[in-house]
Structure 1
Amino acid sequence: MSSTHPDIDSKVQKALEGTKFQVSKLEKITGGSVNWIYKAELTIEIESLKILSPVSSFGNQPNDTHNFVVRTPKFYHFDQDSSTQPQCHELGKALGSWLRNFVAWSAQQVKHRDLVAQNEFGQAVRHMLNYAWLHERTKEYPGILNDVEDILTQVEQLAASEKENTDELQIIHGDFWTGNVVLPDAAIKEGTKIPVFVVDWEMTQLGLPSVDFGEMITEMYALWLYKSIDAGLWMMEGFIEGYGHISEEFAFRTAIHVGTHLVCVTTDFPAWGRENYERVVAAGKDIIVHAWKKDREWFEEGDLACLFRSEN
Structure 2
Amino acid sequence: MALNHEEKDEISTNILHDLSQTAYACSSLIPISGGTANFVFRGIHRDGTIIIKHSTNFASCNRDFPLDISRCIFEESMLNYLQDLPISLVKTPRLLLFDQVAYTQVHEDFSDSIDLKAVIFSGSLSHSVAKFIGYNLGTWTRSFHTWASTRTLYAEQNEPMRKLKYLITYGSFIEVLERFPEVLGTHKATLEEIEARSTKELQTLADDGLQDWGVIHGDFWSGNVLVSQSHKNNEPGLFIVDWELAHFGHRSYDLGQMIGDLYERKYFRDAEPAMWIIQALIDGYGPIDDDMAFRIAIHTGVHLICWCIRGPAKDTPERMSGIIRIGMNFMLKAWEKDKEWFQDTILASLFN
Q: Same fold (TM over 0.5)?
A: yes
What is the identity percentage for the equivalent residue pairs of Structure 1 and Structure 2? Answer: 30
The equivalent residue for 1:102 is 144
Structure 1 residue 175 displacement after superposition: 0.2
Aligned length: 278
Structure 1 CA distance for aligned equivalents of residues 216 and 254 of structure 2: 7
Q: Select which of 173, 181, 194 maps to 2:217.
A: 173
Are the aligned partners of 1:103 and 1:209 in contact in 2 as well (CA < 8 Å)? Answer: yes
More deviation, 238-247/116-125:
116-125
Question: Who is 1:306 aligned against?
Answer: 349
Once the two structures are superposed, the pairs formed by residues 79-158 of structure 1 within 5 Å of their partners are: 82-110=124-152, 113=153, 115-158=154-197
Q: Is the 8 A contact 1:259 1:285 kept in 2?
A: yes
Further displaced range: 214-223 or 75-84: 75-84
**In the aligned structure 2, how far is the partner of 1:192 from the partner of 1:284?**
33
Q: What amino acid is the match of 1:39?
A: F
The secondary structure found in structure 2 opposite 1:77 is: strand
Partner of 1:48: 47
Inter-partner Cα distance in structure 2 for 1:38 and 1:202: 13
Q: What secondary structure is seen at the aligned counterpart in 1 of 2:248? A: strand
TM-aligned CA deviation for residue 26 of structure 1: 9.5
In the alignment, the residues of structure 2 paired with residue 152 and residue 263 of structure 1 have an alpha-carbon distance, to the nearest angstrom, of 12
Where does residue 226 of structure 1 map in the other structure? 268
Give distance in 1, aligned partners of 2:331 and 2:242.
28
Q: Return 5+ residue gaps in structure 2 as ranges.
A: 1-10, 51-81, 102-123
Report the Cα offset of residue 138 of structure 1: 2.4
Say if 1:164 and 1:89 are closer, same or farther in 2 by CA, change over 3 A: same
Please list the CA deviations of residues 98-121 of structure 1 after superposition, one character each: whole Å capped at 9, or x if unmatched: 1000001100111xx2x2133211
Q: Does 1:215 align with 2:257?
A: yes
Match of 2:227 in 1: 183
* Match of residue 320 from structure 2: 277
1:254 aligns with 2:256: no
Residues of 1 paired with 2:226 and 2:313: CA distance?
19
Q: Give SS of 1:76's match.
A: strand
The alignment yields a C-alpha RMSD, in angstroms, of 3.1
- Residue 285 of structure 2: which of 243, 249, 256 is its match? 243
Could you give the per-residue CA deviations for residues 237-273 of structure 1, whole angstroms, max 9, x where no partner exists?
Answer: 0000000010100000110000000001232143743
In 2, the alpha carbon distance for the partners of 1:180 and 1:236 equals: 16
Partner of 1:160: 199
Q: CA deviation at 1:184?
A: 2.0
Q: Return 5+ residue gaps in structure 1 as ranges.
A: 1-9, 60-68
After TM superposition, the structure 1 = structure 2 runs for residues 16-35 of structure 1, keeping only pairs within 5 Å, are 20=22, 31=34, 35=37
| Partner Cα separation in structure 1 for residue 301 and residue 183 of structure 2 | 14
Contact 2:32/2:42, CA 8 A, preserved across alignment: no
Structure 1 ranges of 4+ moved more than 6 A: 16-19, 25-28
TM-score by length of 1: 0.78
**1:268 is aligned to 2:310:** yes
Preserved contact between residue 25 and residue 45 of structure 2 (Cα < 8 Å)? no
1:273 alignment partner, SS class = coil
Q: Which has the higher strand share?
A: 2
> For residues 26 and 271 of structure 1, do their structure 2 counterparts lie closer, same or farther at Cα, with a shift above 3 Å needed?
farther
Are 1:293 and 2:336 matched, yes or no?
A: yes
Q: CA deviation at 1:216?
A: 0.9
Relative to structure 1, the CA distance from residue 230 to residue 289 in structure 2 (aligned partners, 3 Å threshold; closer, same or farther) is: same
Match of 2:125, SS state, is coil
